[in-house]
């Protein structure tokens, strides 16, 4: 929104007139005072008509209208976007699973369950639906079975399809997007009416816009200034009467409007709306204005590793056998421990074994076994399986020969092996360190047969790829004064290898969800403003605690729900733009406040001499502008005061240019430019308008 076009202004005009309703202006006392002044002047002008009075009345109304126009223009882009989003909310038919689905995790073949067709609007939270290729996903939810490529362009504008799959951190799907291939089973997480798209719509429309703490503080300042000037103008009259130059109410109103901070009062709300809009243009949805402002002051950024710094497509690529074990042992155990592991990592282990180690694995299934699944969790950092052979069962409980297999983070599996009385050979640690040093994630596999000590069988090498171009972007963040810290559940060596490759400043390895949360609290207690980028359910507490929590759109519903921003492009370095936009918002508001207040000072020099020149000819020295007549001086000041709002609308929408620099440098520079500019501009502007106004009969 760099330049204002006439059609844009014209389409915003009806809205601007609607906003003239005094009830709409209650939130902005400065504008309310101007409107009351305009009404009073209109009455006075009707009672005692003159060209001078009529001109003042017209321009006082113009002042209020320009202010409401600024807000209306700022809102116009969002309105257009909202209507295109509404188009995605068409009613569809959903295939709802017509049987109870108990667990939130893997449950077996849900596809075989009976389904009924229902309207998408009747879906409730917890319902499970089946979506086939070519069908529209009927509501927001998490994929609980299957994997599919999904076209999310209706929401993200990105035409390349994305993968959504069960179990991992890429499970969330959005209603209104389209499944391109395969079939997925989705558990609905949002009721119709409170979906992601609903939130997006109310966000871009600004219907949920609440004033931020900074905005409220500034409004209080502006209101105080207004009251001070109101008192000053009111007490001016007794002096004027005493000195024999009683002032007309019209002139006093004009003086008041010129002195109160109308410029920033008029543009304040447009600046805020434009800031949110700039984020939306970058595909970032900010659920709170407070978060956008906080982003401007963020100095620590925490990033999850998998899915945030890396592409998050962690795939098993190799099996490394431990001393004393065989490849057959390792391949079979790894496969068994992954059969029920519904994470993408788990599925990739099965794929690797089936594709590259099939000859080593005995595929015969034993009907006499009872299998108990041990699902992966972020706090145990292990997954696996317990197998009991019921054919040799002696009693119903206890005494049953049991085989347990665990795979997971080296430290977690070492602790498990240790608890059974076993130990981890040094060579295994060497294998683990080797995988880690390459930036891979090692999963150690161990097996316990019967009640004996568990034996380490080997290591699975999970490979992941660091997203490209991160290093330069993290350098940029550093230049902005932001420290980047990678927090990961992975081991220290892997963490360091990836951190090195991506170019982050710091790492916290082997972090549980609680550790991530604690780290944020610690930083906040140290006076830092913390941003967090994450995608997983295990990142949710941290995303909620962070001052700016940016959830990746690829992530889970829980993560998107917890954060206060969602990046539709799932790009962690988008935070650079978010920070820039936040800073720009704060700077723009500061700059225009400075300009507005400096501006008003210059108007003293136009109006006060004009009012009192007759009785105090000494005031002539203040009349530095050499304005043609007292009436012309007052009219020029009022006209300038109104026009400066229009002149500054594009800047308040576009924002003041931001360059990476320290806050104090920026502040000094802005005070100079906007303070000085604010002082000088009215002298030139008012003089110019005076030259034109003096041509009008009855004024000049």
Number of residues that bind ligand ATP (CB under 6 A): 24
Task: Residue 151: name its binding partner from K ion, ligand ATP, Mg ion, none (Cβ under 5 to 8 Å by kind).
Answer: none
Task: Residue 345: name its binding partner from K ion, ligand ATP, Mg ion, none (Cβ under 5 to 8 Å by kind).
Answer: ligand ATP
Residue number, 67 or 495, with CB nearest to K ion: 67
Binding string, residues 225-264; x marks residues near K ion by CB under 5 A? -------------------------------------x--
From 187-195, 228-236, 281-289, 339-347, give the range in contact with ligand ATP by CB under 6 A.
Answer: 339-347
Query: Encoding tokens for residue 300?
Result: 């620590």
475/481 Cα distance (integer angstroms): 10
Task: Say if CB 477 and CB 295 are below 8 A apart.
Answer: no
Task: Say if CB 283 and CB 568 are below 8 A apart.
Answer: yes
Task: Say if CB 535 and CB 552 are below 8 A apart.
Answer: yes
Residue number, 249 or 387, with CB nearest to ligand ATP: 387
Q: Which residue from 224, 135, 230 is spatially nearest to 175, judged by alpha carbons? A: 135
Does residue 304 touch ligand ATP according to CB under 6 A? yes
Please list the residues that pair with 454 across neighbouring strands: none
Torsion, CA 426, CA 428, CA 431, CA 433, rounded to 10:
-60
Residue number, 226 or 436, with CB nearest to ligand ATP: 436
Task: Residue 381: name its binding partner from Mg ion, K ion, ligand ATP, none (Cβ under 5 to 8 Å by kind).
Answer: ligand ATP
CB of 537 to ligand ATP, least distance (A): 9
Q: What beta strand segments (E) does 283-390 contain?
A: 284-286, 300-304, 315-321, 369-374, 382-389
Cβ-count burial 364-395 (b if 16+ within 10 Å, e if not): eeeeeeeeeebbbeeebbbbbbebbeeeeeee
Task: Residue 343: name its binding partner from ligand ATP, K ion, Mg ion, none (Cβ under 5 to 8 Å by kind).
Answer: ligand ATP
> Which residue's CB comes closest to ligand ATP?
489
User: Binding site membership: which residues?
Assistant: 341, 345, 376-383, 407, 535, 539
Task: Residue 693: name its binding partner from ligand ATP, K ion, Mg ion, none (Cβ under 5 to 8 Å by kind).
Answer: none
User: Binding site membership for ATP: which residues?
Assistant: 341, 345, 376-383, 407
List the interface residues with K ion, window 590-629 (CB under 5 A). 600
Query: Encoding tokens for residue 290?
Result: 């407070």
Query: Encoding tokens for residue 437?
Result: 């040093």
CB of 172 to ligand ATP, least distance (A): 15
284/275 Cα distance (integer angstroms): 11
Residue 613 CB neighbours (<10 A): 18
Residue 159 CB neighbours (<10 A): 8
Strand order in the sheet with 178-181: 162-165, 147-151, 178-181
Binding string, residues 498-537; x marks residues near ligand ATP by CB under 6 A? -------------x------------------------x-
Does residue 306 touch Mg ion according to CB under 5 A? yes
Task: Residue 269: name its binding partner from ligand ATP, Mg ion, K ion, none (Cβ under 5 to 8 Å by kind).
Answer: none
472/573 Cα distance (integer angstroms): 10
Active-site positions read 304
Does residue 378 touch ligand ATP according to CB under 6 A? yes
Residue number, 572 or 682, with CB nearest to K ion: 682
Task: Residue 262: name its binding partner from ligand ATP, Mg ion, K ion, none (Cβ under 5 to 8 Å by kind).
Answer: K ion
Tally of helices (H runs) and strands (E runs) in the chain? 22, 22
Cβ-count burial 245-266 (b if 16+ within 10 Å, e if not): eebeebbbbbbbbbbbbbbbbb
Does residue 343 touch ligand ATP according to CB under 6 A? yes
Helix, coil or strand: residue 676: helix
Binding string, residues 305-324; x marks residues near ligand ATP by CB under 6 A? xxx-----------------
Residue number, 466 or 637, with CB nearest to ligand ATP: 466
Q: Report how far apart, in Å, the C-alpha atoms of 68 and of each of 32, 79, 237, 615 are.
A: 11, 16, 31, 39
Among 35, 135, 140, 341, binds ligand ATP (CB under 6 A): 341
CB of 354 to ligand ATP, least distance (A): 17
Among 383, 404, 553, 636, binds ligand ATP (CB under 6 A): 383
Task: Say if CB 116 and CB 136 are below 8 A apart.
Answer: no
Scan for tokens 């079939």, then name that residue. 183
Q: Using CB under 6 A, list all residues that contact ligand ATP.
A: 304-307, 341, 343, 345-346, 376, 378, 381-383, 407-409, 441, 443, 488-490, 511, 536, 538
Q: What residues make contact with K ion under the rule CB under 5 A?
A: 262, 600, 641
Binding positions for Mg ion, rule: CB under 5 A: 304, 306, 536
């Amino acid at each position: 929104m760099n330049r204002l076009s006439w059609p844009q202004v014209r389409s915003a005009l009806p809205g601007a007139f609607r906003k003239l309703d005094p009830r709409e202006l209650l939130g902005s006392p400065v504008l309310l005072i101007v409107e009351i002044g305009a009404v009073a002047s209109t009455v006075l002008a009707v009672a005692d008509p003159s060209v001078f009075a009529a001109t003042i009345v017209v321009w006082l109304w113009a002042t209020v209208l320009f202010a409401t126009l600024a807000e209306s223009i700022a809102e116009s882009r969002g309105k257009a976007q909202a209507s295109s989003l509404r188009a995605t909310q068409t009613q569809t038919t959903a295939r709802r699973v017509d049987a109870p689905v108990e667990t939130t995790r893997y449950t077996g073949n849900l596809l075989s369950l009976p389904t009924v067709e229902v309207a998408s609007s009747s879906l409730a939270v917890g319902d499970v639906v089946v979506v086939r290729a070519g069908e529209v996903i009927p509501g927001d939810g998490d994929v609980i079975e299957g994997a599919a490529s999904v076209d999310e362009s209706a929401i993200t504008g990105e035409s390349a399809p994305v993968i959504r799959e069960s179990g991992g951190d890429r499970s969330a799907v959005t209603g209104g997007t389209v499944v391109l291939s395969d079939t997925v089973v989705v558990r609905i997480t949002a009721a119709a009416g409170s979906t992601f798209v609903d939130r997006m719509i109310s966000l871009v429309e600004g219907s949920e816009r609440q004033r931020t703490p900074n905005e409220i503080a500034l409004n209080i300042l502006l209101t105080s200034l207004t009251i001070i000037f109101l008192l000053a103008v009111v007490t001016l009259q007794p002096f004027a009467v005493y000195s024999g130059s009683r002032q007309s109410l019209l002139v006093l109103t004009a003086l008041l409007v010129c002195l109160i901070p109308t410029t920033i009062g008029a543009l304040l709300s447009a600046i805020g709306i434009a800031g949110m809009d700039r984020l939306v243009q970058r595909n970032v949805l900010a659920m709170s204005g407070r978060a956008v402002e906080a982003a401007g002051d963020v100095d620590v950024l925490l990033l999850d590793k998998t899915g945030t710094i890396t592409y998050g497509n962690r795939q098993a690529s190799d099996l490394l056998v431990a001393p004393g074990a065989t490849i057959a042992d390792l391949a079979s155990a790894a496969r068994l421990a992954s059969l029920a592991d519904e994470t993408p990592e788990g599925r990739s282990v099965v794929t690797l074994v089936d594709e590259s180690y099939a000859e080593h694995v005995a595929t015969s299934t034993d009907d006499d076994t009872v299998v108990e699944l041990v699902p992966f969790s972020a706090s145990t950092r292990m997954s696996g399986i317990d197998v009991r052979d019921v054919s040799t069962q002696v009693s119903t409980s206890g005494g049953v020969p049991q085989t347990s297999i665990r795979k997971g983070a080296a430290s977690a599996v070492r602790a498990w092996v240790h608890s059974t009385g076993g130990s981890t050979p040094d060579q295994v640690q060497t294998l683990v360190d080797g995988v880690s040093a390459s930036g891979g994630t090692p999963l150690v596999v161990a097996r316990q047969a019967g009640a004996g000590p568990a034996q380490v069988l080997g290591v699975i090498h999970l490979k992941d790829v660091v997203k490209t171009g991160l290093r330069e972007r993290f350098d940029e963040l550093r230049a902005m004064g932001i420290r980047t810290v990678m927090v990961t559940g992975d081991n220290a060596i892997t963490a360091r290898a990836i951190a090195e490759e991506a170019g982050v400043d710091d790492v916290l390895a082997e972090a549980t969800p609680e550790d991530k949360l604690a780290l944020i609290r610690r930083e906040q207690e140290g006076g830092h403003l913390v941003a967090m980028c994450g995608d997983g359910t295990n990142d949710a507490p941290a995303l909620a605690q962070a001052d700016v929590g940016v959830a990746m759109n690829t992530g889970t519903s829980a993560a998107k729900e917890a954060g206060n921003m969602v990046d539709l492009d799932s790009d962690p370095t988008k935070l650079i733009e978010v920070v820039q936009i936040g800073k720009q918002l704060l700077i723009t508001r500061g700059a225009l406040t400075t300009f507005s207040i400096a501006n008003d000072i210059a108007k003293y020099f136009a109006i006060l001499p004009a009012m009192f020149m007759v009785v105090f000819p000494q005031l002539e020295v203040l009349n530095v502008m050499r304005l043609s007549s007292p009436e012309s001086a007052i009219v020029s000041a009022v006209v300038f005061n109104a026009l400066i709002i229009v002149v500054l609308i594009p800047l308040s929408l576009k924002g003041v240019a931001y360059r990476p620099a320290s806050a104090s440098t920026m502040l000094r520079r802005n005070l100079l430019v906007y303070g000085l500019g604010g002082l000088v501009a009215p002298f030139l502007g008012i003089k110019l308008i005076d030259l034109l106004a003096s041509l009008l009969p009855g004024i000049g």
